[in-house]
Amino acid sequence: MAWRFLLSAILLLALAGPGLAQSPKVWRHGVIEPKSDAGFVMTASRRNFGDKFGLKLETLSLKNGQIALKAVLAGDIDSAETGAGEAIIAAAAGADLKIIGCNWPGLPHAVFVKSDIADVQGLKGKTIAASAPGSLPELLIRSLLEKSSIPMADVRIASLGGDLDRYKALTAGVVDAAVISSECVPIAPKSVRLMLAGRDVIPNFMRLCIVVAGKTARERADEAARFLAAEITAARYAVSHRDETVALTREVTGMKPDDPRPEFVFDETVKKRDFDPDVPIPMDKLAWMEEQLKKTGNVRQALDLAKLVHPEIRTKGLALAGN
């Protein structure tokens, strides 16, 4: 009986061994509060695209890019989708970060104004809802005024919170203009209108990149590449499956069936190529971002951008994802 017991135990271990060896490893990825674009960033984890690459992907929603970067550096998450500008600022201050790809090169934000403002010159003497110096809204307004030869002193900048706060301030008449996401186009009242798309004002602006801690890039490059392969595969699927991506957006955000924003954002994103499934690392755009952040004082020391990026992980991730 002892021999039978031992043989049974050996057989059970033999059967369990492969299963245990193949158990996928958890990879925790942070994203900034998904809104009407949620379907693009949540497909990988919600539709189990990590399984093929031996990973169980978990996507966590975080309040903003600064929190995301702190979580990456603390090891609370393995990667994060965060603002390229925030990554540059953190790296310039000494943070050990690596950009392994940029999935949102396009800018979905725009300058919305009261309907009675005809053009950019009409912004003189007006109050514009933006955000802190160096932020996307502030950089967009600054660039627009510079191109139009309007001194910053000729307008009043109201530093407000997120898109929703700025949208409410504009529709309530508290401000005359605001930088908000273009997803507001289909729901905006007739009292406001989209004056200029951000991508037309600052085409070199890089919205979001995927970052990991330097330690992760050095010690877990293979895992990072497999994670990126899963993200690439999921992103390619998302842009080519409109109905499923829109449905996932509603599932994640709880938007009602009659809310037009998920469909609008999907169509606009794909048409304008604001989302790039192959996660490039455009050094020219990152260099432009650094220069703008130097002007605003957010970056005080010269930064070697070549040390901030890790193209080898992206190259391997693309190879794993295939065509």
Long-range contacts of residues 70-73, Cβ cutoff 8 Å, at least 24 apart: 71/30, 72/30, 72/97, 72/211, 72/212, 72/213, 73/97, 73/213
Cα 288–chain centre separation:
18
Mean pLDDT of 2-24: 48
Mean pLDDT of 268-289: 95
Percent of the chain clearing pLDDT 90 (strictly above): 78
Q: Is 234 helix (H, G, I), strand (E, B) or coil?
A: helix
pLDDT-wise least confident of 9-13, 66-70, 165-169, 236-240: 9-13
* pLDDT score for 10: 43
Per residue in 110-167, pLDDT (tens digit) is 999 999 999 999 999 999 999 877 778 888 998 999 999 999 999 999 988 788 899 9
* pLDDT score for 22: 59
CATH 3.40.190.10 for domain 24-106+206-321, yes or no, is: yes
> Is a pLDDT exceeding 60 seen at residue 1?
no
Per residue in 88-102, pLDDT (tens digit) is 999 999 999 999 999
Contact 112, 188 (CB under 8 A): yes
Q: Which sign does the torsion angle of CA 62, 68, 72, 76 carry?
A: negative
* pLDDT score for 65: 86
* pLDDT score for 139: 85
> Is a pLDDT exceeding 60 seen at residue 281?
yes
- Under DSSP, the state recorded for 122 is G
CA distances for 146 relative to 139, 149, 177, angstroms: 10, 5, 17
Distance between CA 204 and CA 191 in Å, rounded? Answer: 31
Per residue in 188-227, pLDDT (tens digit) is 999 999 999 999 998 999 989 999 999 999 999 999 999 9
> Is a pLDDT exceeding 50 seen at residue 11?
no
Do 109-201 and 24-106+206-321 have the same topology in CATH? Answer: yes
Helix (H) and strand (E) counts in the chain: 14, 10
CATH 3.40.190.10 for domain 109-201, yes or no, is: yes
Domain ranges of the chain: 24-106+206-321, 109-201
* pLDDT score for 21: 46
Per residue in 15-70, pLDDT (tens digit) is 444 443 457 899 999 998 888 999 999 999 999 999 999 999 999 999 888 899 99
